[in-house]
Amino acid sequence: MNIAWVIVVLLLIIVVQGMIYNKWGLKGITYKREFKQKTVFQGEVVEMVDQIANRKLLPIPWIRLESKISRYLANTSDQKENQEIEEVFHRTLFSLLPYQKITRRHQLTATKRGYYPLDTVSVTTGDAIGFSESFDSIEAATAVTVYPSIIPVDEIPLPSHSWLGDITVKRWIIEDPFLHAGVREYQAGDPLNSINWKATARSQTMQINKKDYTADHHLMIYVNFDTNEDIRLPIEKPELMETALSYAASLAAYTLERGVATGFGCNGYFVEPFTNTLERIKPSVRTEPSNSGSQLDYILDTIAKVKMDRSRNFRAFLEEDLEQGMSDTDIIIFTSQLSERVEIKIRQLEQLGNAVEVVLLNQLTKEAGEEYAS
């Protein structure tokens, strides 16, 4: 009889404590999650911080947090086991005393360019015996932006005749009549009003004022996502396009460091929530040229948030420049192909006073694409 009563009492305790945790287990539970760095470069480690608190007298024997996270932010072991899965579950288990707050830090490696938002987290708790469980979803929005990797400019397969070989005196800079840089001998065709008579008298040969240069032209760096004209088809070899975006970011860093007003563009579009998914034709990506102190961050942020998809074909993308009457701009295009229609648009841009150089990505070594993919 005594044993029976003990069993009854135990069962009653189990049921009552289960009801208590089912009703109040999640009451007073607060959760906060954030990335300590809002932006990192590809390959760098980003720290994610979980902070959970139990703001009530009832202790919590266990509480489990679950949320989806991109495999490009997951641990190395998770990445190897889930090569075909874009998202994996990130799970954390806590045990909380009354009015206790716990903070945990997770070191994650950002292995791919992109924008990675985290929104809600699933919270599950229950009694110590496992008789009952309570479930809820908590808003814990945070995000990290992963910039593309920056490589030395001499590793970018630019044409050997590229104007980048001598960035201070090539085509995009023109003579400024108000800046003097010494004198030189007169040459046929030089204007007579540039003759320096004092220098001519000293040297007994005709001398003219030599003008210094000023940067009036702008540089636009374009990446062509086309592998065919039909934008309904998926992008082939996306890892090659990722390499091109890395080249674009690296080139922008190089030119901006030297004071060249630089911009970026591609025929893709932004990831959510930076684009309206209801629009039938999404705007293409363009960052106007500038040499301000924040321009590089702006370009890197733009490239990080580009979706690997197309808003239009590259021919239509260049047509936008023609409609705007773009002139006095240097353009470098990273592309895997060069169709006849695109070549026509390039010639039309050159007729407006622009200079265009093309880097064909299909000429890159196979090892370059494999190195990036790894």
Based on the fold, state whether residues 55 and 159 are members of the same structural domain.
no
What are the tokens at 66? 């679950």
What are the tokens at 137? 């979803």
pLDDT at 159: 72
For residue 290, the domain's CATH number is 3.40.50
Based on the fold, state whether residues 183 and 302 are members of the same structural domain.
no
Under the banding of pLDDT at 50, 70 and 90, the label for residue 83 is: low
Based on the fold, state whether residues 222 and 345 are members of the same structural domain.
yes
Give tens-digit pLDDT for 121-170: 999 998 877 777 888 899 989 999 999 999 998 888 887 655 554 443 44
Based on the fold, state whether residues 240 and 369 are members of the same structural domain.
yes
Residues pairing with 358 in the sheet: 333
pLDDT at 290 over 60: yes
DSSP string, 182-239: EEEE--TT--GGGB-HHHHHHHSS-EEEEEEEEE--EEEEEE---SSS-TTSPPS-HH
Residue 23 in domain: no
Based on the fold, state whether residues 35 and 100 are members of the same structural domain.
yes
pLDDT at 220 over 60: yes
Rg (CA), the chain: 31
pLDDT at 193: 64
Helix (H, G, I), strand (E, B) or coil at 164: helix
pLDDT at 237 over 50: yes
CB environment 294-307: b (16+ within 10 A), e (fewer)? ebbebbbbbbbbbb
Residues 6+ apart with CB under 8 A from 107: 45, 46, 47
For residue 88, the domain's CATH number is 2.60.40.10
Under the banding of pLDDT at 50, 70 and 90, the label for residue 252 is: very high
pLDDT at 373: 44
* Domain tally, the chain: 3
Under the banding of pLDDT at 50, 70 and 90, the label for residue 15 is: confident
The pTM for the full model equals: 0.77
Based on the fold, state whether residues 61 and 108 are members of the same structural domain.
yes
* Contact assessment for residue 35 and residue 69, using Cβ atoms and an 8 Å cutoff: no
- Taking alpha carbons only, the member of 153, 261, 250 closest to residue 217 is 261
Under the banding of pLDDT at 50, 70 and 90, the label for residue 372 is: very low
Helix (H, G, I), strand (E, B) or coil at 124: strand
CA 363/CA 360 separation, integer angstroms? 6
Domain that holds residue 130: 29-147
Based on the fold, state whether residues 132 and 188 are members of the same structural domain.
no
Helix (H, G, I), strand (E, B) or coil at 359: strand
117-121, 139-143, 244-248 — which one is most confidently predicted on average? 244-248
Give tens-digit pLDDT for 295-308: 999 999 999 999 99
Q: Looking only at Cα atoms, what is the longest distance across the chain? A: 130
Based on the fold, state whether residues 199 and 320 are members of the same structural domain.
no
Residues 6+ apart with CB under 8 A from 138: 29, 31, 120, 121, 123
Based on the fold, state whether residues 100 and 159 are members of the same structural domain.
no
DSSP string, 42-104: TT-EEEEEEEEEE-SSS-EEEEEEEEEEETTTS-HHHHHHTTT-SEEEEEEEEEE-TT-EEEE
